[in-house]
């Protein structure tokens, strides 16, 4: 490669790698580890050939990432450096040849320790007199983030050591394979975005500003190095690892002492073979000089130690049979196709199923039941179908069709225009039970105080409730059994459930979780339909005549109320005594009819919700944004950007006093 070509390519690689690196340290992964490594290797080769192309902002010259806002900075007394990557045994042999020369030069013995390279977030733990006092992320190697409260929630971080020593150690925070799979399965059911890999999940969990979130995640740590010790010195790295175990640390369990490069090669191969059996993810094997005095003599660069390398394994792909495609229903009704596979081992675990994302993904990749498919683990963790061996088809393969009904409850499965997923619209669907009840009991629904997510989960687990209407059949004894000394809690919740029976009709409408119907539209609907029966019997054409009800929303409402499950639930709620009609009758005063109000700032005499209700009761509408269609902006104290926009558009701005005069 001549200089101009190299210069142009370096100019392409540097910003690309900077972007990928930042995303990685923001706990997002937009490219696989292998692709990133290959691009980095290419840039290093260019800079090796043309050193004049090395710049200060080159990713080859930097360690780690910037500090996340909200964390205090921690300066590492001993830098937490990164490792030089190698991708072949030839490169390992080259490394050994250099180390042999150094060992001869300084008259020191040459041994190696080969360890698994844990795929997580590197961190330091600091102890004073045997007590844990501070935890920090690597950051840029020189300065990290103080995550003491978060790291203290990890069960394998000892709060007190078995000896009262002053010591700083380095470890890798990670999430084990089984724990990670469970975490992602739960996120899939919750229809939350899945973590790309265990490393991102661990890093994102440790770098939470709320330590309660960290505590809820299944974090673990392996300690692999003594950074600084005031009380004891060591001759070898291996000796220091044994001492760390003695102190009570959870030390990296794979540490192989090697006498020569042949043993190093075998250790790397053995680790590659055992990846299937390890219960934690790795992205390589680390080769370190064992003799600590020799390490000092060899030294380091700014970024990496010269006495260690990380051997990176290539991503593993396997071919297997796609036996079937089934559909899984998430807690909000999203129906996700899942590939059922002939079990195959890929990058450390047995894969028998994986998500196929959605109907479009299957069609775009022409994936058929009976195909031979290529499986790879994204980031060595999440299995995915990355290819189809179409040349092996024998015409017995079947084209997959998404179900028209929910595979769990049999209600209609609707895929709306512009959406990637089909959804079950059955309100009594067991797969949706938890989320349906959470929404039903929420503040903007039936506002059942005390019926929170944890209580709902336990009620379902104990089989006290199997549908929404069962809430109204709960007994004092049922609820009291949920908590120790739970009598007061039970009585308060029984009272709240009883009180919810007398909510306005719009609260019930909103609590049903109809697609595209929120609290505001629920209020609008109950202005036109004074009873639940009237709303249930409203036709699509009638609904379309209402302002704010478009085609998609009208169709969603009509389809929802046509379901037998909906009719069954409403029948049960009516029998339980839940109100089914408008309680506050319209005053007939429509002085704000056709007028649109935007509320901004804090009001003295009303909350914004109360002011909004007055406007709606007088026939007006409220909006969350200012436009040319806005008639009035009601501006309270500390009104912000909405007030400014109203001034720019020439919209009439009124004070709270003027609003009171207009509405009384």
Residues carrying an active site annotation: 117
Q: Where are the alpha helices (DSSP H) in 413-550?
A: 433-441, 453-461, 476-480, 487-500, 505-511, 519-528, 532-536, 540-544
Which of 330, 379, 323 lies closest to 35 in space, CA to CA? 379
**Would you say how long the chain is, in residues?**
664
Q: What are phi and psi of 608, to 5 degrees?
A: -60, -35
Separation between Cα atoms, residue 298 and residue 102, nearest integer Å: 7
What sign for the dihedral angle of Cα 279, 283, 285, 287? negative
* Residue 109 near residue 235 (C-beta atoms within 8 A): no
As a three-state string, the secondary structure of 161-216 is CCCCCCEEEEEEEECCHHHHHHHHHHHHHCCCCCCCCHHHHHHHHHCCCCHHHHHH
Structure tokens at 182: 């469970």
Separation between Cα atoms, residue 225 and residue 243, nearest integer Å: 11
Separation between Cα atoms, residue 202 and residue 128, nearest integer Å: 26
Separation between Cα atoms, residue 156 and residue 146, nearest integer Å: 18
Separation between Cα atoms, residue 487 and residue 480, nearest integer Å: 5
What sign for the dihedral angle of Cα 391, 396, 397, 398? positive
* Residue 17 near residue 9 (C-beta atoms within 8 A): no
Structure tokens at 399: 């084209």
Separation between Cα atoms, residue 502 and residue 498, nearest integer Å: 8
Q: Which DSSP string do the residues of 24-61 spell out, in sequence order?
A: HHTT--SS-HHHHHHHHHHHHHHHHH-GGG--TT-GGG
Which of 336, 408, 341, 327 lies closest to 369 in space, CA to CA? 341
Separation between Cα atoms, residue 417 and residue 552, nearest integer Å: 8
Structure tokens at 420: 């990637």
**DSSP helix/strand/coil, 72:** coil
* Residue 592 near residue 618 (C-beta atoms within 8 A): yes
Which of 660, 440, 388, 476 lies closest to 572 in space, CA to CA? 440
* Residue 124 near residue 215 (C-beta atoms within 8 A): no
Separation between Cα atoms, residue 208 and residue 27, nearest integer Å: 11
* Residue 405 near residue 384 (C-beta atoms within 8 A): no
Separation between Cα atoms, residue 164 and residue 130, nearest integer Å: 4
Structure tokens at 254: 């794979």
* Residue 397 near residue 323 (C-beta atoms within 8 A): no
- For residue 657, the tally of other CB atoms under 10 A from its CB is 10
Torsion of CA 463, 467, 470, 472, to 10 degrees: 140
Q: What are phi and psi of 347, to 5 degrees?
A: 45, 45
């Amino acid at each position: 490669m001549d200089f101009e070509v190299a210069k142009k390519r370096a100019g392409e690689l540097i910003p690309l790698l900077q972007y990928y690196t930042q995303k990685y340290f923001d706990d997002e992964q937009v490219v696989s580890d292998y692709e990133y490594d290959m691009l980095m290797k290419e840039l290093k080769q260019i800079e090796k050939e043309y050193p004049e192309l090395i710049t200060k902002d080159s990713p080859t010259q930097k360690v780690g990432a910037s500090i996340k806002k909200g964390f205090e900075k921690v300066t590492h007394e001993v830098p937490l450096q990164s490792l030089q990557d190698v991708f072949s045994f030839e490169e390992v042999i080259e490394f050994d040849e250099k180390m042999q020369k150094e060992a001869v030069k300084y008259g020191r013995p040459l041994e190696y320790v080969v360890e698994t390279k844990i795929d997580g977030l590197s961190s330091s733990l600091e102890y004073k007199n045997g007590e844990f006092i501070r935890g920090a992320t690597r950051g840029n190697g020189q300065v990290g983030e103080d995550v003491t409260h978060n790291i203290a929630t990890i069960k394998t971080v000892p709060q007190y050591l078995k000896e009262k020593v002053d010591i700083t150690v380095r470890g890798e925070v990670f999430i084990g394979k089984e724990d990670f799979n469970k975490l992602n399965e739960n996120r899939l059911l919750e229809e939350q975005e899945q973590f790309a890999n265990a490393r991102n999940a661990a890093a994102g969990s440790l770098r939470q500003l709320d330590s309660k979130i960290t505590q809820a995640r299944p974090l673990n740590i392996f300690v692999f190095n003594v950074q600084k010790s005031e009380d004891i010195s060591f001759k070898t790295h291996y000796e220091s690892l044994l001492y760390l175990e003695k102190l009570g640390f959870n030390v990296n369990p794979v540490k192989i002492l090697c006498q020569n490069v042949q043993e190093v090669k075998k250790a790397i191969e053995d680790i590659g073979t055992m990846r299937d059996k390890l219960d934690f993810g790795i992205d390589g094997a680390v080769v370190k000089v064992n003799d600590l005095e020799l390490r000092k003599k060899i030294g380091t660069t700014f970024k990496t130690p010269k006495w260690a390398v990380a051997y990176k394994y290539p991503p593993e792909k396997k071919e297997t049979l796609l036996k079937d495609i089934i559909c899984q229903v998430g807690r909000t009704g999203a129906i996700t196709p899942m590939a059922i596979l002939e079990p195959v081992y890929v990058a450390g675990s047995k894969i028998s199923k994986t998500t196929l994302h959605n109907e479009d993904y299957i069609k775009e990749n022409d994936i058929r039941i009976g195909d031979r498919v290529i499986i790879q683990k994204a980031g060595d963790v999440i299995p995915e179908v990355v290819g189809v061996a179409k040349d092996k088809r024998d015409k017995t393969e079947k084209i997959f069709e998404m179900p028209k009904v929910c595979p769990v409850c049999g209600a209609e499965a609707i895929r709306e225009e512009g959406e990637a997923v089909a959804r079950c619209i059955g309100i009594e669907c067991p797969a949706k039970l938890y989320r349906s009840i959470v929404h039903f009991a929420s503040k903007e629904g039936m506002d059942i105080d005390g019926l929170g997510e944890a209580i709902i989960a336990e009620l379902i687990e104990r089989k006290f409730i199997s549908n929404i209407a069962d809430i109204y059949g709960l007994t004092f004894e049922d609820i009291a059994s949920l908590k120790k000394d739970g009598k007061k809690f039970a009585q308060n919740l029984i009272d709240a459930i009883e009180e919810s029976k007398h909510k306005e009709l719009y609260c019930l409408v909103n609590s049903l979780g109809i697609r595209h119907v929120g609290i505001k539209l629920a209020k609008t609907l109950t202005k036109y339909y004074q009873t639940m029966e009237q709303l249930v019997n409203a036709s699509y054409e009638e609904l379309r005549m209402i302002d704010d009800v478009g085609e998609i929303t009208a169709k969603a409402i009509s389809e929802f109320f046509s379901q037998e499950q909906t009719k069954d639930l409403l029948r049960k709620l009516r029998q339980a005594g839940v109100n089914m009609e408008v309680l506050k009758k319209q005053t007939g005063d429509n002085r704000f009819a056709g007028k649109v109000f935007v509320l901004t700032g804090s009001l003295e005499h009303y909350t914004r919700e109360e002011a909004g209700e007055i406007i709606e009761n007088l026939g007006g509408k409220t909006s969350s944004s200012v436009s040319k269609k806005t008639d009035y902006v009601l501006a309270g104290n500390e009104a912000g950007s909405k007030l400014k926009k109203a001034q720019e558009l020439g919209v009439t701005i009124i004070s709270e006093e003027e609003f009171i005069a207009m509405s009384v």
